[in-house]
Amino acid sequence: MNKLSRRKQELERSEKRLKGIANVKPEYQEEYERLEAELERFYTIYVEKFTNIDYLEHELDMYNLKDSHRRQLQQEIIDKFKSQ
């Protein structure tokens, strides 16, 4: 019986210690959480800027395409008047 009660006490102490350890935050947990929030904020900014740049590049491509068509039409008109 003595050995059994000693094992029960040891088990109870171990369980109590485990519960205590589970409730304690790791040493750098607060810094980790702060850095994680900062990273999330930077990623959001990055995605927004990347999306804006992609949109602006597309708009520039469309503008350049329209401009080249316009110049081509102007050149055709000039060539037509020259040939007359």
**DSSP assignment letter at 24:** S
Alpha-carbon distance 4 to 18, whole Å?
Answer: 21
5-45 pLDDT tens trace: 889 999 999 999 988 887 777 788 889 999 999 999 999 99
DSSP codes, 27-83: TTHHHHHHHHHHHHHHHHHHHHHHHHHHHHHHHHHHHHHHHHHHHHHHHHHHHHHHH
pTM passes above 0.75: no
